[in-house]
Amino acid sequence: MTGMDRDAPIVAVATASGRGAVGIVRVSGRGLLPLARALCGRELVPRMASYGPFRDGRGEALDQGLALYFPGPHSYTGEDVLELQGHGGPVVMQLLLARCLEAAAEVDATTGRARLPGLRLAEPGEFTQRAFLNDKIDLAQAEAIADLIDASTEAAARSATRSLGGAFSREIDALREQIVQLRMLVEATLDFPEEEIDFLEKANARGRLDRLQATLDGVLGQARQGALLREGLQVVLAGQPNAGKSSLLNALAGAELAIVTPIAGTTRDKVSETLQIEGVPLHIIDTAGLRADHEASDEVERIGMARSWQAIAQADAVLFLHDLTRVHEPAYAQADADIAARLPSPGQGATVLHIFNKADVGMDVDADALAQPQPPGEVLTLSARTGEGLQALRQTLLRQAGWQAAQEGVFIARQRHVQALNAAREHLSLAQAHAAQRDGALDLLAEELRLAHNALGRITGAFSADDLLGEIFTRFCIGK
């Protein structure tokens, strides 16, 4: 996208592909009125819907619908915007799109020039990119538009709406303003050393830095919650065949998603489902049963187990299921131990929760089993069949993910936002260390404040490279 002419007018179908009641073709550029007259056969009043036919090159109606004209800069992109809202059939939309391109190249009888020279198809996200480049929205708000479209839970949608409204950006701007004030004081002291102003004492730099760090920590906490709402948690169900992984998936989902039989090894490949707990998306993967490669019954089972280990390597949390009815069998216990040895160690990857399943039929051995030396990590007992212990599992997953319930005003965020806030926090910590030195070290303090300021600027786009913009906007849908 970065290689495209950013000044050229653009056009695209702005609604999802497929059939629908309404479809929209959107045009953005400068000087759209001649094109609007050619398409609609009438003058359009700014910001007022006008119903009538959309005409082809012979003046015949292609469709009937609403036309809206928004003169720049009071539009979504900051440029002139024309929207044609017709019937949502894919053929109709493509006819309107082709007519826009055709009419733009035609010579206007009034001016003797092409109506809209250079009109081309929009790239993914290009309308929103123009809104950003024309200062209609900042980068965090632009990302919130895509996050609102992609939201998989109500909580994520509401949080994305708050970010789109500027809640996150205002927090970042307030932090940047505080840093700017500190930078001004530091730079003034560096520029006029003959004044012999004791900057650290009279300007209360340490107190300001402490308050700034505390405020940033609060924003960082909210951003982490927002990133969790957006990204969700990758949870993998692992364990030996017939430990109850598929039953647990079905119990958590409240539906028969995976085939469950008494036959070990029924699940031969990954089965995925996205659920939500308190608005947090959980992407749960039920994997093929794990055992030694030489015990696999065929090549299909070996491939299924390989994919299970791949899923475990990419997980945020692994639920390692143990069958309470078999924990006393030496061969079964050894196989569990072999699997546990290959799972991520604490702090080295995914969180591992040990789940002792089938509590409803294993009550006689339940107490004895749990009296044995327990594996490292959290241990829960449940019954996927009766639902006993499921709520405790749900809450444990949220706690392990770092989710704080009943938080108000959470805004949607991305991992890049969290990384930028962490970088700003590290620079502020170094600035605090320099401020605490009795010899001043104001030049180093000034540099750390500058770096913290720049890190925050990357969130809203105050400091953004073209390759970052390309990475962000090309992930949007075409027409947005």
Dig out the tokens for 156 from the structure.
């994520």
User: How far is 304 from 421, CA to CA, in rounded Å?
Assistant: 40
Residue numbers in the known binding site for Mg(2+) are 246, 267
Q: Which residues are annotated as a binding site for GTP?
A: 242-247, 261-267, 286-289, 357-360, 383-385
Q: Which residues are annotated as a binding site?
A: 26, 83, 136, 242-247, 261-267, 286-289, 357-360, 383-385, 480
Cα distance from N-terminal residue to C-terminal residue, the chain: 14
302 touches 296 (CB < 8 A): yes
CB burial string 377-407: b at 16+ within 10 A, e below = beebbbbbbeeebbeebbebbbebbebeeee
Burial status of residue 198 (CB atoms within 10 A of its CB: 0-12, 13-18, 19 or more): exposed
Residue at 353: amino acid letter: L
What is the dihedral angle through the alpha carbons of 189, 193, 198, 199, rounded to the nearest 10 degrees? 10
Binding site for (6S)-5-formyl-5,6,7,8-tetrahydrofolate: what residues are annotated?
Answer: 26, 83, 136, 480
Q: Which CA distances in Å does 316 have to 214, 231, 235, 284, 467?
A: 28, 11, 6, 10, 29
Contact 23, 89 (CB under 8 A): yes
In sequence order, which residues have a C-beta less than 8 Å from that of residue 324 and are 6 or more positions away? 356, 357, 358, 359, 361, 362, 365, 366, 369, 381
For residues 173 and 460, what is the distance between their CA atoms, to the nearest angstrom?
Answer: 8
Instruction: Collapse the DSSP code of 31 into the 3-class scheme (helix H, G, I; strand E, B; otherwise coil) and give the result.
Output: coil
Q: Which of 417, 420, 476 is nearest to 150 (CA)?
A: 476
Helix or strand or coil: residue 294?
A: helix
Please enumerate, by residue number, every residue annotated as part of a binding site for K(+).
242, 261, 263, 266
Cis amide linkage into residue 346, ω under 30° from 0: no
